[in-house]
C-alpha cells in the first residue's frame, strides 16, 4: 500500500461540502481531512468532490476472463481492477461476485477463491476493495458453506438473486441461448439442464433458507438486499425477511414499493448514461425524475459513475451536489460508512480532483493515499511533494 500524502492544503478549487459547491481550501493530513496552515497547492480551475463509492460492479470479470476461453489469475485481475477503479474516481468498491447454481466463475467454488484472493490482496490495494455476494436463492444445500465463507472472509454485503425463472424460460424457448449460457458456465447443455432441475426441486425450501440467512446477516451487521425485483410483490417479499436494499428493480412498481417502505433503490449508472436499460428494463432516468432512485452503481462500466452524475446535471434532473451525492454520500449512508462520503473534517481523505471545464478526473485520493494522477492537476500536486522540492534544491 502506498504511503499517505504529506500534509497539504489544497487551495483555489471549488469543493462540495455541506451539500453545496464552495470556494474553500481542503486540508489533508495523516489520511484524514483536517485543518491547519500547511504547505499549499493551488488547484484553481478544479473541482474537489468526495470519492466515489461503488456498491455493485462486475467489471472485474472482464479482467479475469477478457474472453470466455481466456482466463487469467485472480490476483492480476484485482490489480487491474484496482487501478481502473482509481482512474475513474472510485475510492471504495464492492465487486459483485455470484454464488450461483450456474457454476464456473459464478459458482461457490470460484466465489470462495475470490473471497480469499481479495483478503490477500487488500493490504496492497489502492482502492478500498470489498466483495458483494450475489446469492442465488435456490441453493439451500449450500447455506452452511455460504455462512462459513461470509464470516471467514468478512463479507459485509449480500443481495438475493432469483434468475431461475429466466433460465427455465430460456431453456424452453431459446435452446441455443441456453447452450451459450451453459458454455459460459463451463457445462454442457445436458449438465446445465440438470442444474436447473436441481434448483427447481429446491423451491419449497427457499423461504426457510432465506430467513435463516437473514437472521445470520442481522446478527453480524451484514447489509443485504435483493437484485432485479420484477414487481412490487417481489420487493415486499424480500423486505419482509429484512432485505431492505432494492438493487436494480426492473419495473416502476417495484421501485415505488421500495420508496413507500423507505428502502434504498440502486440503479446502474450505464442505464443513466445510455438513456435506458441494455436489457429492456425500466429507465433509471425515469426513476430519478420520479424520485424513485437513491444511488447509482457502476454495474458493468466504471467510467459511467462520474459520467452519469454529469448526465443528470446536463439533463436538468439534478444539481451537481445532488447528482454527486448519489455516487458518494448516499452509498456511504446505505452501507453505514460514517467515515466517508463527504469532505467534512475528521473524515477519511477520499476525494477526486476534476477539471472544471473538461470534467476529466485528474487525481484520486483514497484514505489519504494518492491512487491516480494525471494532467495539470497531477503536475501541480507532484511539484508540491517534499521529494520533488528537495530534488529541485
Whole-structure pTM value: 0.94
Band of the pLDDT at 389, cuts 50, 70, 90? Answer: very low
Cα separation, 222 vs 283, in Å, equals 29
Q: Which pLDDT value is given to residue 255?
A: 97
**Strand-pair partners of 182:** none
Predicted local confidence at residue 391, as pLDDT: 37
Choose the weakest-confidence range: 22-36, 87-101, 273-287: 273-287
Indicate whether 301 pLDDT > 80: yes
Cell of 59: 467489471
Place of cell 420484477: 230
Domains recognised in the chain with CATH numbers: 8-50+343-392 (2.30.40.10), 52-334 (3.20.20.140)
Q: Rounded distance, CA 196 to CA 199, Å?
A: 5
Across the range 89-106, mean pLDDT stands at 95
Give pLDDT tens digits for 9-31.
Answer: 999 999 999 999 999 999 999 99
Q: Is the pLDDT of residue 278 over 80?
A: no
Query: In whole angstroms, how far apart are CA 146 and each of 99, 102, 290?
Result: 8, 15, 37
Say how far apart CA 12 and CA 23 lie, in whole Å: 7
pLDDT tens-digit series, residues 224-260: 999 999 999 999 999 999 999 999 999 999 999 999 9
Q: Which of 42-51, 226-235, 270-279 has the lowest mean pLDDT?
A: 270-279
Residue 1 has what pLDDT? 61
Helix (H, G, I), strand (E, B) or coil at 30: coil
Residue 142's pLDDT is 97
Enter the DSSP assignment of 31: T
If you search the block for the grid coordinates 452503481, which residue do you land on?
297
pLDDT value of position 75: 95
* 75 and 39 Cβ atoms separated by less than 8 Å: no
Report percent pLDDT > 70 for the chain: 97
H-run or E-run covering 326: none
pLDDT, tens only, 69-94: 788 899 999 999 999 999 999 999 99
Q: What is the mean pLDDT of residues 255-274?
A: 97
pLDDT value, residue 392: 36
Whether the predicted pLDDT of 138 surpasses 60: yes
Pick the more confident residue, 66 or 309. 309
Strand ranges (DSSP E) for 100-210? Answer: 128-136, 157-161
Give the range among 70-74, 79-83, 115-119, 270-274 with minimum mean pLDDT: 70-74
pLDDT band of residue 387 (cuts 50, 70, 90) is: low
How large is the average pLDDT for residues 194-198? 90
Nearest to 220, CA basis, from 321, 170, 147, 304:
147
With a pLDDT cut of 90, the percent of the chain lying above it is: 81
> What per-residue confidence (pLDDT) applies to 112?
98
Residue in 84, 176, 76 with CA at minimum distance from that of residue 126: 84
Averaged pLDDT score across all residues of the chain: 93
**pLDDT mean over 343-349:** 97
Per-residue confidence band for 36, with pLDDT thresholds at 50, 70 and 90: confident
Amino acid at each position: 500500500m502506498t504511503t499517505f500524502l504529506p500534509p497539504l492544503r489544497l487551495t483555489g478549487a471549488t469543493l462540495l461540502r455541506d451539500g453545496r459547491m464552495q470556494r474553500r481550501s481542503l486540508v489533508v493530513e495523516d489520511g484524514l481531512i483536517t485543518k491547519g496552515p500547511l504547505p499549499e497547492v493551488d488547484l484553481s480551475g478544479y473541482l474537489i468532490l468526495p470519492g466515489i463509492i461503488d456498491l455493485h460492479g462486475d467489471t472485474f470479470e472482464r479482467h479475469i476472463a477478457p474472453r470466455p476461453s481466456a482466463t487469467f489469475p485472480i490476483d492480476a485481475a484485482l490489480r487491474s481492477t484496482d487501478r481502473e477503479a482509481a482512474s475513474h474516481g472510485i475510492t471504495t468498491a464492492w465487486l459483485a461476485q455470484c454464488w450461483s447454481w450456474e457454476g464456473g466463475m459464478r459458482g461457490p467454488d470460484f466465489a470462495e477463491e475470490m473471497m480469499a484472493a481479495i483478503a490477500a490482496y487488500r493490504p496492497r490495494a489502492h482502492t478500498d476493495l470489498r466483495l458483494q455476494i450475489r446469492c442465488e436463492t435456490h441453493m439451500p444445500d449450500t447455506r452452511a458453506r455460504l455462512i462459513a465463507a461470509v464470516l471467514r472472509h468478512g463479507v459485509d454485503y449480500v443481495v438475493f438473486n432469483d434468475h431461475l425463472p429466466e433460465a427455465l424460460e430460456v431453456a424452453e424457448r431459446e435452446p441455443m441461448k441456453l447452450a451459450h449460457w451453459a458454455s459460459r458456465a463451463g457445462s454442457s447443455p445436458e449438465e446445465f439442464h440438470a442444474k436447473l432441475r436441481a434448483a427447481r426441486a429446491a423451491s419449497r425450501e427457499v423461504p426457510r433458507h432465506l430467513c435463516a440467512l437473514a437472521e445470520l446477516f442481522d446478527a453480524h451487521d451484514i447489509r443485504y438486499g435483493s437484485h432485479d425485483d420484477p414487481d412490487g410483490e417481489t420487493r415486499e417479499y424480500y423486505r419482509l425477511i429484512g432485505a431492505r436494499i432494492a438493487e436494480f428493480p426492473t419495473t416502476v412498481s417495484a421501485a415505488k414499493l421500495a420508496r413507500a417502505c423507505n428502502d434504498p433503490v440502486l440503479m446502474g449508472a450505464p442505464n443513466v448514461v445510455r438513456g435506458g436499460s441494455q436489457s429492456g428494463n425500466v429507465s433509471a432516468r425515469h426513476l430519478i425524475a420520479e424520485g424513485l432512485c437513491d444511488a447509482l452503481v457502476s454495474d458493468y462500466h466504471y467510467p459511467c459513475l462520474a459520467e452519469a452524475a454529469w448526465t443528470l446535471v446536463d439533463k436538468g434532473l439534478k444539481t451537481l451536489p445532488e447528482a454527486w451525492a448519489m455516487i458518494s454520500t448516499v452509498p456511504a449512508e446505505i452501507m453505514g460508512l460514517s467515515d466517508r462520503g463527504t469532505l467534512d473534517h475528521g473524515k477519511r481523505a477520499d476525494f477526486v480532483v476534476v477539471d472544471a471545464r473538461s470534467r476529466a478526473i485528474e487525481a484520486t485520493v483514497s484514505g489519504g493515499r494518492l491512487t491516480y494522477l494525471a494532467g495539470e492537476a497531477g503536475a501541480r500536486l507532484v511539484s508540491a511533494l517534499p521529494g520533488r522540492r528537495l530534488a529541485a534544491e
